[in-house]
A and B are shown apart, each in its own frame.
Chain A
Amino acid sequence: MSLLSVRDLTVKFAMRDQTVTALNGISFDLAKGERLGIVGESGAGKSITGFSLMNLLSRPGYIDNGQILFEGEDVVQMNDKRLRNLRGNRMAMIFQDPMVTLNPVLTIGQQMIETLMAHRKLSREEARQIAIVKLREVYIPSPEERLEQYPHELSGGMRQRIIIAIALLLDPQLIIADEPTTALDVTIQADIMELMLELCQSNQVGLILITHDLGVVSQMTERTLVMYAGRIIESGRTREIINDPQHPYTQGLINALPQQTLPGQRLKQIPGNMPGLASIPTGCAFNPRCKYATDLCRSRVPETVHYGEVEVACHEVQRLNSDEDRQEARA
């Protein structure tokens, strides 16, 4: 049985004059200890997916349809008490900005010890010892002293390590990390990524990594979902998706990276912008930006099909693959 199984998840936002669909029937599975990347541009629905998995959506957003089976139990149907037991305990989340996640008026120690005592029957001293062990696991120097410090006394990289330590406090089965290193410098980002990879591998913790950085996904994950306008448009093994993407959007994303073009040459841009939720085009949502779009693309939403090594939602994937330019590009 997979650790997490999402079926046909639809999330809507009730606005004053209309209801918009933020996630449109997404389905995916995650095995125990598996690392999955979710990529896409702002507005694709990556973060909404992360929030939904923990049932953390707040008004005006709501889960309209679908199942989120975590260890066989449907998160969507859970009551508050069961959700409290789920969150932090079996599933933990890491956000982009550590300064927002940590409470500025409590010491690191208070935040860690309280979390432990809320979920486990432990004495304060036992909780303190566990906190120290966890801080050591994320390579925080002199953890005893850090427990007495406030978040503002620590650097950005150090804070994000502490967030990871807090996420790991209760030995969860799954960590959802939403752009965990976007606010950090590259050298610190590399350290944090290496640390997360090491911890996930040694403890068999599942990871859902939400990011817009394809390089990070390539380093960190085994499988990848590519999202566009609230749907999964391509999924498969990370290596396959990066080396041989099938959907024109995934191809566009990868080709737009400066590394993919000779220095000084024009970058291969994707024309246009991600559509707003209120104005998602009919048919394939990507059709106005896609150079392969046909009348079929403009009228009908493509089914997800198995093509080569990946699952892809594109009407034209066959024709695209026989495209001469692409054959040449690969050669």
Chain B
Amino acid sequence: MKDAKTDRPLLEIRNLEKRFDLDHGFLETLKFKQGRIVRETRSVHAVNNISLEASRGEALCVVGESGCGKSTVARLVAGLLTPTAGEIHYGGQRIDSLSRGEMQPLRKKIQMIFQNPYASLNPRMTIRQALEEPVRHHNPGASAGEVRDKVTEVMMSVGVDPSWAKRYPHEFSGGQRQRIAIARALTVDPEFIIADEPISALDVSIQAQVLNLMLEAKESRGLTYLFITHDLSVVEHFGTRVAVLYLGSVCEVADTRTLFSNPKHPYTRALLSAVPQLKDDRPNHIRLKGEIPTPINLPQGCPFQSRCAFADARCKSEKPKAIHQPDGSTVACHAVEEDRLDEVAAG
């Protein structure tokens, strides 16, 4: 579903890059190599040339292992970090280069939920204070009564008892705090929610409660989600589209159903096979060689080649481009492009 006004996706990320410098200042850049002093700046390549889109009403999930850059993507979209290169468009407007003042009206539309509800609520504010603050900030004209009504309404809608309002965050369990954090994001009636691992810190039964709440909010408020997670079973349930990230690059983007029924990229396949299933009676996964390389010295060619069973000379030298597949997914893999995945597996 495209945005009616502009006929473009609500969120567009184009060729996004983010590097974090490791060496700050002149002295740190000096290195001693082969008997000579040279200047060298190392940087972490957290996000490399990522392009993604999310249409209104979608739940776009970004999955990958630790260090793949998924949280960095979330923070870039939320405007908490500035990209090194590339563009982010929201509702047809470019938002990555806006000043703080220009960003202000957008912050009301784009809200973020974090992983750790212990850290994202101010321990010295009561729940009422924490929930009223964003409403006041974004609606300076609202009367005290209006603010109070808005907060009570949102609290009811997410199952937070309004009588809790006088209490402090430490009086609540993890699941309750995450509800409060969600309530806080919803008080300003956002259109777009960025959720960075919102349920990873919670127990299974509480995960179900919070996921249900997020699904309800999606239905009743027509929200669009950017959902960051490492848990593929949640993705299958919650997401409409999935982007698989590896070392800061997108491996595969597909509709959730397509991705789970017909994963194409070797990394996606390995990742899916590694999720422990209830029906398994022993570990049953595609083994990957070695471990994730560091994003400081990125390998040339395909980022996944050092662990991939299908890597050949081309994979080592040339970075694969994202190629559209007949079923609507996009895959960046030479082996998929050359159609030699299943041959090797068979032979």
Contacts and interface: CB of A to CB of B under 8 A. Distances in A.
Nearest to A215: B276
Contacts of B296: none
Nearest to A158: B291
Contacts of A216: 276
Contact of A219 (B173, B211, B270, B284): B284
Contacts of B232: 186
A157 interface: yes
Contact of B237 (A194, A252, A258): A258
Nearest to A195: B283
Interface in A260-300: 261, 263-264, 266-271, 273-274
B283 A256 contact: no
A19 B186 CA distance: 41
A186 B65 contact: yes
Interface string A211-224: 01111101110000
B325 to A, nearest CB: 21
A194 B278 contact: no
B212 A274 contact: no
Interface range for A? 35 or more
A219 to B, nearest CB: 5
A186 B288 CA distance: 11
A239 B281 contact: yes
B283 A197 contact: yes
A187 B276 contact: no
B287 A191 contact: yes
A215 B285 CA distance: 13
Contact of B270 (A187, A263, A273): A187
A253 B278 contact: no
A223 to B, nearest CB: 13
Interface string B267-299: 000110111111111111101100110000000
Contact of B203 (A156, A158, A238, A274): A274
Contacts of A20: none
A273 B206 contact: yes
Nearest to B273: A190
Given A190-B274, A193-B283, A157 B291 contact: yes
B271 A155 contact: no
A242 B278 contact: yes
A186 B281 CA distance: 17
B6 interface: no
Interface of B: 65-66, 173, 175-176, 203-209, 211-212, 215, 230, 232-234, 236-238, 256-257, 270-271, 273-285, 287-288, 291-292
Given A158-B291, A263-B237, 10 more contacts: A185-B65, A186-B232, A186-B274, A187-B271, A215-B275, A215-B276, A218-B280, A261-B237, A263-B236, A274-B203
Question: 10 tightest CB-CB pairs across the interface, nearest first?
Answer: A215-B276, A258-B237, A269-B208, A185-B65, A267-B208, A270-B205, A41-B203, A190-B274, A256-B208, A194-B283
